[in-house]
Structure 1
Amino acid sequence: MEFNFHLKLNHLLCLFILILSSVHAQASSFRYCADLNYDVKVSAVEIKPDPVVRARPATFKISADTGEAIYGGKWVITVAYFGFVVHNEIHHFCEEVSCPVATGSFVVAHTQKLPAFAPPGTYTVEMTLKNEKNKALTCITFKFKIGFESFVSDI
């Protein structure tokens, strides 16, 4: 009887993992940092894999539209964990995309390997795109998760 219980529990856990996997396959939700009419409108944020795996590459893809050409600038990225800032970085916009970015739709994709010691849980990212005159073209926040994974795979 105990064996049958463990077998049913394993099937239930597998089903739960499959359901969670299908939920995380969708685009991540985001919101704007302020109630401003930004020049760049973000349409989607996609994170792969989701949840992110420590010590493995993760790709953050931002789809957006601009009403004016973008000739330069920078992405300012802040990452918080339980409300505490744990990481800041700045990327030159033209190193992430080909500049100038023409009026219309564009995609910025950035791949990064998160540290093996990063604790599992939910992180909040704030990304601000500023032009070469330091004017905020857009600012969004979104969450991503680092999954619970066996420490054996990190060795």
Structure 2
Amino acid sequence: NADKQGEYDVKVQGVEISPNPIARGQPATFSIAATTGAAIDGGKLVIEVAYFGWHIHSEIHDLCDETSCPVSTGDFVVSHSQVLPGYTPPVSLKLMLINSC
């Protein structure tokens, strides 16, 4: 169920990265398989990148540009593709789904 802040009960079931390993300067696709206990009408996909714990980059994308909306209760997949710069160091990646309401 959604709470007053618009946060949903979303559980990530797995993440697939293609190609694996990622090739610097080449397209990479991140596919996140998840399940939700409530329908999601819209929101944001927030990508945060950190290098040794230091925040170095963030992006915000419309959730409905990354997957079909509305997202029905149950299983769904969010995929995001982009070219990583040639100078990309090994980093940690954090993805968040944020309700737009």
TM-score over 0.5 for the pair = yes
State the match for 1:74 in structure 2: 44
| TM superposition shift of 1:106 | 0.4
**Alignment partners' CA distance in 2, 1:60 and 1:128:** 13
Is residue 128 of structure 1 aligned with residue 96 of structure 2?
A: yes
If asked which structure has higher relative contact order (CA below 8 Å, sep 6+), I would say 2
Which structure 2 residues correspond to residues 130-145 of structure 1 after superposition, within 5 A?
130-133=98-101
The alignment yields a C-alpha RMSD, in angstroms, of 1.2
**Which amino acid in the other structure matches residue 97 of structure 1?**
T
Structure 2: which 5+ residue stretches go unaligned? 1-7
**Alignment partners' CA distance in 1, 2:40 and 2:78:** 13
**Alignment partners' CA distance in 1, 2:87 and 2:94:** 21
Which structure 2 residues correspond to residues 112-123 of structure 1 after superposition, within 5 A?
112-119=82-89, 121=90, 123=91
- The structure having more radius of gyration, on CA atoms, is 1
Which residue, 41, 46, 59 being the options, matches 1:89? 59
**Alignment partners' CA distance in 2, 1:118 and 1:127:** 18
Structure 1: which 5+ residue stretches go unaligned? 1-37, 134-155
Larger relative helix fraction: 1
Write out per-residue CA displacement over residues 102-134 of structure 1, whole angstroms, 9 at most, x where no aligned residue.
Answer: 111000111110011223x3x11111111123x
Larger relative strand fraction: 2
Percent sequence identity over aligned pairs: 56
State the match for 2:3 in structure 1: none
State the match for 2:19 in structure 1: 49
**Alignment partners' CA distance in 2, 1:87 and 1:48:** 21
**Alignment partners' CA distance in 2, 1:70 and 1:97:** 11
| TM superposition shift of 1:61 | 0.5
SS of the residue aligned with 1:101? coil
- TM-score, reference length from structure 1: 0.58
**Which amino acid in the other structure matches residue 99 of structure 2?**
N
**Alignment partners' CA distance in 2, 1:43 and 1:98:** 18
- TM-score, reference length from structure 2: 0.86
- Structure 1 ranges of 4+ moved more than 6 A: none
